[in-house]
Amino acid sequence: MRRRVPVLPVFLLVMWLALNGSFAPAQIALGVLFAGLVTLAVAALRPVFAWPRRFDVAVRLFVVVLVDVIRSNIAVGRIILGASKRQPHVGFVKIPLELRDPHGLAVLAMIITGCPGSVWAGHDTESNVLTLHILDLQDEVTWIRTVKQRYERPLMEIFG
């Protein structure tokens, strides 16, 4: 069984010591107490623990998203600055999802909303259908394929 580093309490302790600017034994004890109490208090807010299963896939997904954000910024910039003479076709697209993990869905929402020109407009939990608002919707099939292959499939591997 692999041991997991308790990230939150360690982070809180380090921040406590950094903010107090002291490594005195009393500050360390107070920091440990603070970190422990906060960790216990927020544990009830997270009933399902998230731990990525495939770090290599997460790194690849990060690179893909970074490239997509840059491309989206350029495309939206062209629309806003008028470099494209045609009017954008604003629309909604519905995407049936297989991903059900709440952490995976949260990351997908951040990815979609982080890419300029697209916004997570809704998610029907019963039918598991995602609704996206797209600034320049030219081809629904391309958007469905992009979300499912570039984002959903890796997230299913990561959060299994």
Q: Where are the domains of the chain?
A: 7-43, 55-159
Q: What is the pLDDT of residue 1?
A: 44
Torsion of CA 25, 31, 34, 38, to 10 degrees: -150
Residue 5 has pLDDT above 60, yes or no: no
Q: Identify the H or E element spanning 35.
A: helix 25-43
Q: How far is CA 8 from CA 16, 50, 140, in A?
A: 12, 13, 41
Beta bridge partners of 134: 91, 118
pLDDT tens per residue, range 30-65:
999 999 899 888 877 776 677 778 888 989 999 999
d(CA 118, CA 130): 12
- Assign 13 a pLDDT band (cuts: 50, 70, 90): very high
